[in-house]
Amino acid sequence: MTEDRNHINAVPGEETQGQAEDKKGMKAKDIKAISKRQTAGKIFVQIGIYAFLTVIALLILFPFYFMLISSVKTTAEYNEMVPTLWPREFRWSTYAAAFTGDLHLGQLFLNTVIVGVVSTLLSLVVTVLSAYAFARLEFRGKNVLFAALLATMMIPGELFTVTNYITVVNWLDWRNTFAALIVPFLVSVFYIYLLRQNFMQIPNELYLAAKVDGTSDIKYLWKVMIPLSAPTLISITILKMMGAWNSYIWPKLVANDLAHRLVTVGLRSGAFQGANGLTDIPAQMAAVVLVTIPLLLVFLFFRKYIMRGVSRSGIKG
């Protein structure tokens, strides 16, 4: 009776209470259906993204996995026509042989550490002083000189190899010396640019206040700018050490004796030749694993400093 009265008393062109409730219920159902479809779509998108990333990660990690299992295989198993994905017999003696054999891996590590540490420290001094001069000091021709330095970044480094080799070997007679491995790469325009951008983000009022107090430029650099730019300096230090650890072409040209040979050059030497004239690949892979571990640890523990230093310098990738 109540519903009949509502229909009877309803004014033509106006909705009854029941019709309004029905429309609200239909809208609620439509919203729930749309929400379910959106949720399902998001789930499928996430599944697709993670599946793609998993495939890419497997493709990237597989060479490292193959290097690890190859380092503990026997030579006969490695030379089989069909490679095995898991060693039938683990041969751990290859890692000990890397230090005790003809490779002299301990000496190569020592040489690489000496070159890496000394070149990094000297390069930091050059980079800090140059970046400070371009960021804070005023002198004639500063912008032109800095633009000329940036222009050299467009020239591939391989083009300087011949001229550097003639200078170092023929003129300076630095062949088979640590100086030949360190001096030619002390200046990095990219590191100077990176640190200069970071220095320029420091408020100039701090510099003016320090000059009013009678602070020298060197003291201001040491007490103010270097602490504020610590993330960028850490990034430069790590990148420089990794570059020294991975360099191959230049050390191969100028320092190929045992007293100055680096690990990258030693891994390509004839120390892994067997009695039959074939290369002992498992032993070589074991040495590669030992050389890769320090770089891997550096990247795992300091990757956040690299990203933080680059982002603070205004270069984002």
In a domain, 7, yes or no: no
Q: Which of 54-58, 157-161, 291-295 has the highest mean pLDDT?
A: 54-58
As a whole number of angstroms, the distance between CA 70 and CA 4 comes to 87
> Are residues 34 and 112 located together in one domain of the fold?
no
> Are residues 171 and 63 located together in one domain of the fold?
no
Of 176, 161, 164, the C-alpha closest to 256 is 176
As a whole number of angstroms, the distance between CA 280 and CA 277 comes to 9
- Partnered with residue 279 across adjacent β-strands are 273
Q: Which of 125-134, 240-249, 264-273 has the highest mean pLDDT?
A: 125-134
Number of compact structural domains in the chain: 2
> Are residues 135 and 192 located together in one domain of the fold?
yes
> Are residues 217 and 277 located together in one domain of the fold?
yes
As a whole number of angstroms, the distance between CA 180 and CA 245 comes to 15
CATH number of the domain that residue 241 is part of: 1.10.3720.10
- Domain ranges, residue 229: 98-312
In a domain, 89, yes or no: no
pLDDT at 94 exceeding the cut of 90: no
Which residue is associated with the tokens 């006969």?
76
Tokens of 247: 């360099």
> Are residues 104 and 245 located together in one domain of the fold?
yes
Which residue is associated with the tokens 């003291």?
219
In a domain, 91, yes or no: no
184-202, pLDDT tens digit by residue?
A: 888 889 999 989 988 888 8
Q: Which of 46-50, 137-141, 289-293, 296-300 has the highest mean pLDDT?
A: 46-50
In a domain, 80, yes or no: no
As a whole number of angstroms, the distance between CA 176 and CA 174 comes to 6
Q: What Rg, from alpha-carbon coordinates, does the chain have?
A: 32
Mean pLDDT of 130-147: 88
Mean pLDDT of 30-50: 80
Confidence of residue 208 (pLDDT cuts 50, 70, 90): confident
Provide the CA 265 distance to its chain's centre, in angstroms.
Answer: 22
CB distance 116 to 241 below 8 Å: yes
> Are residues 48 and 168 located together in one domain of the fold?
no
pTM of the prediction? 0.74
Phi, psi of 279 (to 5 degrees): -80, 135
> Are residues 151 and 54 located together in one domain of the fold?
no
pLDDT at 277 exceeding the cut of 80: no
> Are residues 116 and 223 located together in one domain of the fold?
yes
In a domain, 10, yes or no: no
Residues whose CB is less than 8 angstroms from the CB of residue 287 and which lie 6 or more positions away in sequence, other chains included: 98, 103, 105, 266, 267, 272
Length of the chain equals: 317
SS3 63: helix
